[in-house]
A = this chain, B = another copy of it.
């Protein structure tokens, strides 16, 4: 191999023209990418670029994807340890390459060891400034928003990182259609009030104000996951909340037992199959509460509750809750939008929306967001 002796190593923290996508902690040397869709972006003028990435996990490994000039060229598992990964080589030294290195799997609350850190780059050129996009969008959701099942064969059933995609994902595609920067906060199985199996701790709102508070363990704490997020640093034009699918699941799944106290928790159905009114009320209260929290932290954002890719049973309750919130608060920049349901034609792996389902959702959702952002 011809060695490229012009390559020099720089710590990520020393690079001025680096654009970081996704919430980060104070500690940036190394830089931890927590959420799916979190990314580094460079405008790199040079012929060869490497990035030093460190992965760790007990069970669920991270994956990354690489885009050059907006085209995906690579997707790979990052196994445990510290690796120099070559982003490109042999390219014309005088052209500027827009590069994005994207975390392609969600934050993993169930694996306290899971982490992805970027230490340094090795490059033979210079980094030019990366422009801000005209819009900023924040997406909050569950497995759908994590792109679970949007890659892989329909027959796949294992819950593993390989079947998650940040790019074959309505979030990425919606942002691209709007020419927007975006961030994602998402967790498979979680809801507004409880998880699909009635665990009341597995809800997104409780952790919304931390950098990535749903992560567990000392290591994640030391990486800054539990830090308070600085909302002033990135104010979105729109917040899209795609939650409710697992809250619906809770009504149809067994009770959750708190192992420390023995107490159980269950969203109940009536005998005739309808939702128990009290429990549905608790869900609606959670929606209202989350809206208030979102508004507090994002004073000028349009908030869109976007729901419906895996059925839309909770839609009446969501509308009721939004209605009640709007009435009580006078806040008028909140709306509800129904997403197109997955079909037999658009199903992906693990009975989740496949790439075509994400494509259709992005088409409808970006049309709607265009109408409210313009």
List, in ascending order, chain B residues with CB within 8 A of A129's CB: none
Complex contact A86–B77 (CB within 8 A): yes
Copies of the protein in its oligomer: 4
Q: Which residues of the other chain, B, contact A90 by a CB distance below 8 angstroms?
A: 59-61, 158, 160-161
Q: Are A274 and B336 in contact (CB under 8 A)?
A: no
Chain B residues with CB under 8 A of A335: 316
Does A2 have its Cβ within 8 Å of any Cβ on chain B?
yes
Ordered by A's residue number, 18 sampled pairs between the chains whose C-beta atoms are within 8 Å are: A1-B56, A59-B90, A61-B86, A61-B89, A68-B156, A70-B153, A71-B156, A73-B162, A74-B76, A75-B75, A75-B76, A77-B86, A90-B160, A91-B160, A92-B157, A316-B326, A316-B336, A340-B340
A13 within 8 A of B: no
Least distance between A369 CB and chain B CB atoms (Å): 12
A287 CB to closest chain B CB (Å) equals 13
- Kindly list chain B residues whose C-beta atoms are within 8 Å of the C-beta of A19: none
Binds B, one of A200-208, A221-229, A317-325: A317-325
A349 to B70, CA, bound (A): 12
Q: Is the CB of A155 within 8 A of B56?
A: no
The answer to the question of A353 belonging to the interface, with a C-beta cut-off of 8 Å to chain B, is no
B320 and A343 within 8 A (CB): no
Interface residues of A in 343-360 (CB under 8 A from B): 343, 349
For the complex, is A315 an interface residue (Cβ under 8 Å from B)? yes
Q: Inside 8 A of A308's CB, which chain B residues have their CB?
A: 338
A69 to B2, CA, bound (A): 37
A367 at the interface (CB under 8 A from B): yes
**Given that A57-B1, A336-B316, A338-B338 are contacting pairs, would A152 and B73 also be in contact in the complex, using a CB cutoff of 8 Å?**
yes
Contact of A332 among B95, B160, B274, B326 (CB under 8 A): B274
